[in-house]
Structure 1
Amino acid sequence: MNPSRYSDSEIAAVYRVIRERRDMRHFRPDPLDPAVLERLLQAAHLGPSVGFMQPWRFIRITDRSLRAQLHALVDAERRRTAVALGKRQDEFMRLKVEGILDCGEVLVAALMDGREHHIFGRRTMPDMDLASVACAIQNLWLAARAEGIGMGWVSLFDPEQLGQLLRLPPGARPVAVLCLGQVDSFYEKPMLEQEGWAARQSLNELVFENGWAHNSPADSNRSR
């Protein structure tokens, strides 16, 4: 008997929220309850971070004109991405890739400035600060799903342009535009899988033992 183990129902709820988390693009414009937003941000702030550096910074976008400018940056990168995709350009342009103008709340997650002073866990792997922010975002995402709130992570933007728009200090860097809000329903499957853009790979193809499996099916899929 493990005294640290949660109850069966609590464990089931954890696995359920992980399984049913979705990257949402379709929102209702209803405002988010401030108390819910506070809980979500607290969940993010409880994320793990290398050397306990807590490198995340969240910027809440409440100015509608600023939100429109942010959307324009994202839309410009969406079009550049479409061109870069070549044969899949038209297919990509049919996808809804963000809900910035539709959702109740927009947050920008950013890396703090002055990160070079933190060397615990980063001396040989400085990008662990980015991994820490990603953990905070995942905490927020899972908490949002448990609250019945949709969230979408948007990464289609030029970091330098967005940093200038939000007046980030030198050394700080935006990582994600996060759309949060009420939704009519959550997608049955991840949207890109539902739309036929990609399929989830088998876990067995991605787990190796005692070294890299160079002839794995995952390597074959990537080369196509």
Structure 2
Amino acid sequence: MNKFTPENIETLEQIILARRDVRGNRFIDKAIAKADLDKILFAGVNAPSVGFSQPWEFVIIKDLEIRNKVKNSFFKENEKAKTLFKGKKTDAYTQLKLEGIVESALNIAVFYKPSQHPVLGQTAMKEAGVYSVVCAIQNMWLMARALEIGLGWVSIVNPDTVKTILNAPNDRQLIGYLCLGHVDEFYKNPELEQLQWEKRKNINDVVIKEMYS
């Protein structure tokens, strides 16, 4: 069993705190080395999964024609989203750069592949399989940051449209559409925190002892 030093623990904490959701205005024109991409994928496939089911699949997309089709889906969904925000947030939303689909070096579509058999630990909570895929994405995000590679998660896309574009099997579920690439800088704080879109919650406001009152 590995034993970790205080320095190891501090480094992990630094990576967690330095992780950022990177958008197109930060990516630079520089390819991702195969060794770095392999490390990011390795981090993903070594995430925890319910019943050791490992229900993830990763589609690596470099082709610009495919990426432009996905970006068109983003544009359509983004126009719908604009109508949901009111007041000052309406103007703020229109100023945000919310994706880097074509600006990044590559995209990765992360899918959930359901099992054809009962999965240990997933019999009462079916969604635990999807949560496992989210754990894989988090691992990839942290490894990417440690490698000084930016990663942005684009959620403003129609998952069925993306499935069609990528010719994904009917039973697959799109969990994350990721943009990866080298960046000119990582923000000191999360961009939406800097822009005062939302304030960081105090840990004492979200930790509940024993039960809800």
Q: Secondary structure at the match of 1:19?
A: helix
Q: 1:111, CA displacement in angstroms?
A: 0.8
Aligned partner of 2:168 in structure 1 is 168
* Conservation of the 8 A alpha-carbon contact between 1:82 and 1:90: no
Given the alignment of the two structures, is residue 11 of structure 1 paired with residue 9 of structure 2, yes or no?
yes
- Once the two structures are superposed, the pairs formed by residues 1-224 of structure 1 within 5 Å of their partners are 5-25=3-23, 26-87=26-87, 88-112=89-113, 114-115=114-115, 117-213=117-213
List alignment gaps of at least 5 residues for structure 1.
214-224
The count of residues paired between Structure 1 and Structure 2 equals 210
Q: 1:118, CA displacement in angstroms?
A: 3.5
Aligned partner of 1:216 in structure 2 is none
Deviations for 1:137-183, whole angstroms, at most 9, x for unmatched residues? 01001001111111111111111111111111111011111111111
Q: 1:29, CA displacement in angstroms?
A: 2.2
* Conservation of the 8 A alpha-carbon contact between 2:61 and 2:108: yes
Q: 1:12, CA displacement in angstroms?
A: 1.0
List alignment gaps of at least 5 residues for structure 2.
none
Amino acid at match of 1:102: E
> Normalising by the residue count of structure 1, what TM-score does the alignment of the two structures yield?
0.89
* Conservation of the 8 A alpha-carbon contact between 1:193 and 1:200: yes
Q: How far apart are the structure 1 equivalents of 2:80 and 2:86?
A: 11
> Normalising by the residue count of structure 2, what TM-score does the alignment of the two structures yield?
0.94
Q: How far apart are the structure 1 equivalents of 2:50 and 2:159?
A: 23
Q: How far apart are the structure 2 equivalents of 1:4 and 1:147?
A: 22
* Conservation of the 8 A alpha-carbon contact between 1:107 and 1:177: yes
Q: Secondary structure at the match of 1:201?
A: coil
In angstroms, what is the RMSD of aligned CA positions?
1.4
Amino acid at match of 1:180: L
* Conservation of the 8 A alpha-carbon contact between 2:56 and 2:111: yes
Q: 1:116, CA displacement in angstroms?
A: 5.1
Q: 1:89, CA displacement in angstroms?
A: 2.6
Q: 1:196, CA displacement in angstroms?
A: 1.4
* Conservation of the 8 A alpha-carbon contact between 1:57 and 1:109: yes
Q: Secondary structure at the match of 1:137?
A: helix
| Bigger shift: residues 86-95 or 15-24 | 86-95
Q: Secondary structure at the match of 1:85?
A: coil
Q: Secondary structure at the match of 1:115?
A: coil
Q: How far apart are the structure 2 equivalents of 1:4 and 1:64?
A: 43
Query: Post-superposition, which runs of at least 4 consecutive aligned residues in structure 1 deviate over 2 A?
Result: 84-90, 114-119
